[in-house]
Amino acid sequence: MIQRRSFLAKAGGALATTTLATALDAPSVIAQPKFQWRMSTAWPPALKLMHGSAVRLAKTVEELSGGRLRIEVFAGDQIVPAFGAFEAASKGTIEAFMGAPSYWADNEPAIEWFQTVPFGMNPDGMEAWYHQGDGLKLWQETYAPFNLVPRQGPAFAPQLAGWFRKKINSAADYKGLRMRIGAGLGNKVVTKAGGTAVLIPAAGIFAAFERGVIDAAEWVGPHDDMELHNSARYYYYPGWHEPGTVSEFTFNRKAYDALPVDLRQLLDHAVEAEQVYFSADYHAKNSIALARLKSEFKGKVEILQLPTAALRELKKLSGEVIREQSEKTPQAKKVNASFAKFQALVGPWDHVAEGAYHQLVAGAS
């Protein structure tokens, strides 16, 4: 009898231990809620690098979360207008979007600074400001009234200055020019120089150039805007207007907060990983496209550096635009002050390290 009771006690204890362990493990096995999101990009599917970045992010998130968070990606104008993604996510019509911050800067001028600033920081500087400066804090603060949670997306910079039908010898040559240029501070500099800045969504740029609606156009880099060689001969660099352009992955606040902590962290880290994937892809593909322009289209296309005098004049106009825009709202003033302070910090290092390196390499070649 004593042995039987001992056996039952041990068996009961083992069963209790097993039951407890199963109960503790149960939430991770069966009680995992699943989330279905919709994300709209500001670009058509034909822009495989930029729209494809959102598709890759969604795939990464679904795989790493074991299917707990699934993001369905739609191209611009598919479920919401290309330039309407900000408002749609703000209202909760969609849970997320990928785009360029300046597209919706009419909501708050301060938004401009989170994309790029003419003659401002390069992609490394933008990333450092975001992670090591006040960039993320200020961006979240700027988007809070719109019920949005911003995250810095891939950088598609440095860019080129654009395709032109006529040569640019000075800033005065922008006068009377109808130029497709993205929303942003650079857009306003072209206007101040006497040109007409035309904002056309990516899907319509090529057709507008071919029909003569515009005289010049900037888009991104050689890989994405190679087709413009059919409409213009002169391809200018550097992209003074967008030296450090970064995109954004932004989420509806309610949808983001509804995610468990681990999924929020997974999503944030997946966005940062996508920056690396995109940067490598962008760097390689632009290099290949530039080589093609120089070889296959030799004699038809001229790749030219903007004259120093023109850049000096454009920089002066840019300073005026930045000052004017930063004075529009207290938030814009605050963000501009942070941006300028951080650029003053990293600028000397960029000049000594990367700048000097490229100058020496160019001089030795």
For 192-234, the pLDDT digits (tens) are: 999 999 887 777 888 888 888 899 999 889 998 888 888 899 9
| Exposure of 279 in the CB half-sphere (CA atoms within 13 A) | 17
Residue showing tokens 């009419």: 106
Average pLDDT, the chain: 90
pLDDT band at 76 (very low <50, low <70, confident <90, very high): very high
Taken in order 119, 192, 304, 101, is the CA torsion positive or negative? positive
Residue 338 DSSP SS3: helix
Kindly state the average pLDDT of the residues 230-246. Answer: 94
pLDDT band at 4 (very low <50, low <70, confident <90, very high): very low
* C-alpha dist (Å) from residue 148 to 56, 86, 188, 228: 22, 9, 26, 35
